[in-house]
Amino acid sequence: MAKSYLESLLSEREKIELISRQHWFILVSMIFLEIFTILVIMAVTITAAILLNRATFLIGVVGFGLLMIPVVSMIRDILIYTHHEYVVTNRRVIQIAGIFNKQVTDSSLEKVNDVKMVQSALGRIFNYGDVEILTASELGANLFKRIEKPVQFKTAMLNAKARLESGEQWVSPRDLPGFGAPQGVPALLAQLETLRQQGVLTDAEFQEKKAKLLAKI
């Protein structure tokens, strides 16, 4: 299966912790005028066709042509919104923008000094806000404006930074000794325990897989 653009950016053993984007308010504000224009053009076209029934075909062609302008503009705005992502991995924070021409900005977790979050009263109600990352790199500060779930984004980033600084690294099951070789239940249970301690498996997932293994005995 072909990799997505985001997956192609990841280095070896780099794991995505969270993917976020700007709040849907931003998308609504981008396409509101275009939706309004579409409705106006449709209303004017229908009214003109009713009043001038002899020129219905010509009016329909002109109306359709005018309608395509805001429709194409709206599709473009939607694509811009959906292709603008903020990604937290176990090593860095990535900002990706652009539909065809991509702009990628990285902030290494090792160089993150402080994280500032601002949420207005409306932002707390609708769960959006601004997150500013202050780093020791040449970029200095990286501001993510009106992103969705800012508290969750900040928490995921700080947790990933803490794990990186403590030396706790995520390990793929394929990197575990003896992966793919025939093993007994005790060895598989030991691998599951390792994955649980690394946070790859939740306690519930660990217990479920453990029960399945024990049922084979």
For residues 111 and 18, state if they share a domain. Answer: yes
Domain that holds residue 189: 173-215
- Residue 49 and residue 31 share a domain: yes
Q: Is the pTM of this model over 0.85?
A: no
Q: What type of residue sits at position 184?
A: G
Specify which residues 112 forms β-bridges with: 135
**Is the same domain home to 91 and 146?**
yes
Within this chain, do residues 89 and 196 fall inside the same structural domain, yes or no? no
Label residue 178 left, alpha or beta by phi (over 0 means left) and psi (-120 to 50 means alpha).
left
pLDDT range class, residue 187, cuts 50, 70, 90: confident
**Residue 185 binned pLDDT confidence (cut-offs 50, 70, 90):** low
Q: How many domains does the chain have?
A: 3
Report helix, strand or coil for 112: strand
pLDDT tens, residue by residue, 109-132: 888 888 899 999 999 999 999 999
CATH of the domain at 16: 2.30.29.30
Higher pLDDT, 22 or 196: 22
Q: Element (H or E) spanning 41, and its range?
A: helix 24-51
Q: Do residue 51 and residue 139 come from a single domain?
A: no
Instruction: Assess whether 71 and 118 both reside in one domain.
Output: no
- The stretch 173-194 carries a mean pLDDT of 62
Same domain? 130 vs 197: no
70-105 pLDDT tens trace = 999 999 999 999 999 999 999 999 999 999 999 998
Same domain for 211 and 138:
no
Pair 94, 20: CB distance under 8 Å: no
* Angle formed by the axes of helices 24-51 and 56-82, nearest 10°: 180
Average pLDDT, stretch 155-161?
A: 90
Final residue before a domain boundary, out of 39, 58, 81: 81
pLDDT at 29 over 50: yes
118 and 132 share one domain: yes
